[in-house]
Structure 1
């Protein structure tokens, strides 16, 4: 009970945060193009001691769940007992040399079923994975979080999960395990019309391949887009590109177990030749990588077939063999509203080290443009170029047609190198359209802090729990579970009473927050 009190106190303290306003930008902003509230938090938090989260004035946060909350239907035998802790090792919940495993609730999916409002998450850390649901209508925190699944259809344990999305064609949560083959891949959990698990057993989807998948999204045609995050081998001055962007074209969009074709993105030079994995592995300082990170350039793309059928396979190796083009740890992607699923934006984390001298070391935000979601060809360009102060970009969400929210997962090493904790940014895509040669403008709406539990793990942890807090799970949705509610189908209007905004302060106390706007937005 003492730990729960501490977590609640720390979480509530974060609701009285100070900062600078996120301005809407120039007078060209319109209600249709900019729906976020406005300005800039001037600086990130330094990596010193315990720090509060700092948000722009006009923004507030309320904790909806935190790690020490018990599950209403805990699997005690497996140690799946709390929202953010696995107690299989018998350790206390926090700040002890033998503390419990922190399970790190990750990406968020907000859905409304039969008038009830839920937030679903997979868990990235600990000895095994599981899926939880936060009942946003439940006033009693002790009754708020439910275990949805911690085993597969054969009764085996689930891998830890990073990415999650809702597939309205199959009525399933789709979850990604971010690990090299044969351990990574995609699992699905079916829900009924009330948002409850049908069987509570997740099913593996080997037809989608095995790889370090993190980002996962559906398009309006029923295809599944996957973004892979596997760090490449070390090279002189940094890391080699080693991760791909995929599109799975199902045989039956209502039944992904029926198989289909996995494709990977191939990028072409001006002469039409592909930029391949073998070429970039041989020359990680290639001018092609520098060109890809130049916002004045765009490149033709083609989807190349990687594998067809229902059998399991190594997606990463197969994509490389198909001459697809790897990136430097792309992580998550989302479709831009108002484009008919013709624009897909994804983040690239980069090398997360100031010592890297290779091109593209700090990553950025890329855009894939196509005539339709199922088109075989298109173009790719970078719209926001990372630098020392804006790097480790991870989760991504649209808060309006031109308002793209991205958050950092820079890691303890880069935090120390730049003496700065993570931040959340708004990318103004109107600046990209105006041809800003430095990429789209980023303004900080969140300077993440560091809670006492994260400070302890960063300095004293037994080693199996991560250190500094990380921003993850930025999510903007109206909860519509139909095909018409796919992310990218509607123009978001945060804080209007229907559209809601969430993010998770991973590591430490593992608090998931809801962001709310000022009264003028309601």
Structure 2
């Protein structure tokens, strides 16, 4: 069976994009990433085809009903996107199987093979899969890497994932409140296979919270972005999530502990903006100023826990230490070529058009520091969200200046704005021109849509009449640009990506929910794998 048999082309999507472009799209030359704007998001009704910018093409590399080469049948871990423990049909039935929702992607070249790893966000148990991008036989395409912890038990479902080259481990995050959430680690050998039977180790020193985004810097610190919605207020929610940095005692062994820090943002008068203040007054003018383009605020890292061993409630500890809560930050990445001095992260916001609170639509923030391990820095909003561009979730740099940001607005906001999710390119000011230049322009970078996500038949069914345990409208997740370098020199942010000129640089995203298809994008005629 050849690759054409297992790889579904995106020709229909590309043709639809060309048609949309002819009706009013425009070309935007973004440094090394030329993008033709897709003028509109897909409306929320019926089955919709995904529209990809005609300056790119895509092919699917995995989809939900692919069987695992080594299934854990006893626990229903049998397919890429389904748990079959209850023996239910895979899809489009009122008792359909639990969809596991492969989430973030990590691309690695190990042992001469090209692999894509994912954690799975929903279902009865968490697990990690590996897609062999070189394999053309669908029966041998996806492998189970891990679905048990060191005690042989199930561990929580997984949202975030990254490769830690210092420990040679996949770091996985569970987006659940303490004590369930936190960080887990699964070791890989030089061939990309799991060590110790794929048993996941909870890294207690990194705390327990609703963690999602996770990234290493070149000093071996681990940056974690938390996504926990707060109590309802003003039609939205109070800020209730934090950005963390873990400074390890030994960057080659995170079980030895270290210090977990949380980000504190100072007001103009130098006093910290605390949880108590912002939750008692979620309309605090400070929140509005923080979300205003051209402003900048001092930051410092406050230590909330030191040591090793047992897990602890990181969210509560951050609140007690007067760290500054945000409105559901989700994922972050370092700007390429900036020496790990610029960290960009998304803030989802309230995901409702009914919110009257400042910052309701979130945005993309930048933390600037003198070094990755500096104790102080500054924070500024780099891209401002609005009703049509919000629910920002996954994030990845495609060049030094082109930032890919994708939405997870949710079914409710899809209905309110009659628009499904989109993926955008934000062209940032040239890094050499600096933050001051960007602020002087007085106008935030404008989003250029490269992807208008559709809604496949399975997601449409789940949105209208499917079981409550499976999500409805498709979500964009796992946007990831990497050359697969598993060394310290390959950390995301160490190299400037070249996806249009070098076949080593590859781009992936996952159309979560529904059929749970993971796609590879080829930009501007670049070599297609």
Q: 1:434 deviation in Å?
A: 3.5
Aligned to 1:215: 213
Asked if the contact 1:471–1:503 (Cα under 8 Å) also holds between the matched residues in 2, the reply is yes
Aligned pairs, how many?
511
Structure 1, unpaired ranges of 5+: none
Aligned to 1:181: 178
Q: 1:140 deviation in Å?
A: 1.2
Aligned to 1:313: 312
CA distance in 2, matches of 1:137, 1:521: 15
CA distance in 2, matches of 1:434, 1:251: 37
Structure 2, unpaired ranges of 5+: none
Q: 1:38 deviation in Å?
A: 1.9
Aligned to 1:422: 421
Aligned to 1:165: 162
Aligned match for 1:466, one of 461, 464, 471: 471
Aligned to 1:485: 490
Aligned to 1:259: 257
Aligned to 2:358: 359
Aligned to 1:324: 323
Asked if the contact 1:335–1:488 (Cα under 8 Å) also holds between the matched residues in 2, the reply is yes
CA distance in 1, matches of 2:226, 2:525: 39
Seen in structure 2, the aligned counterparts of structure 1 residues 22 and 277 have a Cα distance that, compared at 3 Å, is farther
SS at match of 1:312: coil
Aligned match for 1:444, one of 449, 452, 467: 449
Aligned match for 2:462, one of 445, 453, 457: 457
SS at match of 1:366: strand
CA offset digits 1:268-315 (Å, max 9, x no partner): 012110000110011000001001001121000000001011131100
Asked if the contact 1:385–1:438 (Cα under 8 Å) also holds between the matched residues in 2, the reply is no
CA offset digits 1:399-439 (Å, max 9, x no partner): 01110000000000000000000000001102874334342
CA distance in 2, matches of 1:79, 1:208: 30
Where do 1:81-120 residues align within 5 Å? Answer: 81-120=78-117
CA distance in 1, matches of 2:187, 2:229: 31
CA distance in 1, matches of 2:36, 2:154: 45
Q: 1:23 deviation in Å?
A: 3.5
CA distance in 2, matches of 1:248, 1:397: 21
Where do 1:322-401 residues align within 5 Å? Answer: 322-401=321-400
Q: 1:9 deviation in Å?
A: 6.3
What TM-score results when the alignment is normalised by the length of structure 1? 0.95
SS at match of 1:270: coil
SS at match of 2:412: helix
Q: 1:14 deviation in Å?
A: 4.4
CA offset digits 1:321-375 (Å, max 9, x no partner): 0000000000000000111000000000000000000000000000000000000
Seen in structure 2, the aligned counterparts of structure 1 residues 9 and 367 have a Cα distance that, compared at 3 Å, is closer
Aligned match for 2:514, one of 508, 513, 516: 508
CA distance in 1, matches of 2:26, 2:499: 14
Q: 1:141 deviation in Å?
A: 1.7
SS at match of 2:413: helix
Q: 1:498 deviation in Å?
A: 0.6
SS at match of 1:210: coil
Q: 1:237 deviation in Å?
A: 2.9
Seen in structure 2, the aligned counterparts of structure 1 residues 11 and 142 have a Cα distance that, compared at 3 Å, is farther
Asked if the contact 1:22–1:445 (Cα under 8 Å) also holds between the matched residues in 2, the reply is no
What TM-score results when the alignment is normalised by the length of structure 2? 0.94
Seen in structure 2, the aligned counterparts of structure 1 residues 133 and 444 have a Cα distance that, compared at 3 Å, is same
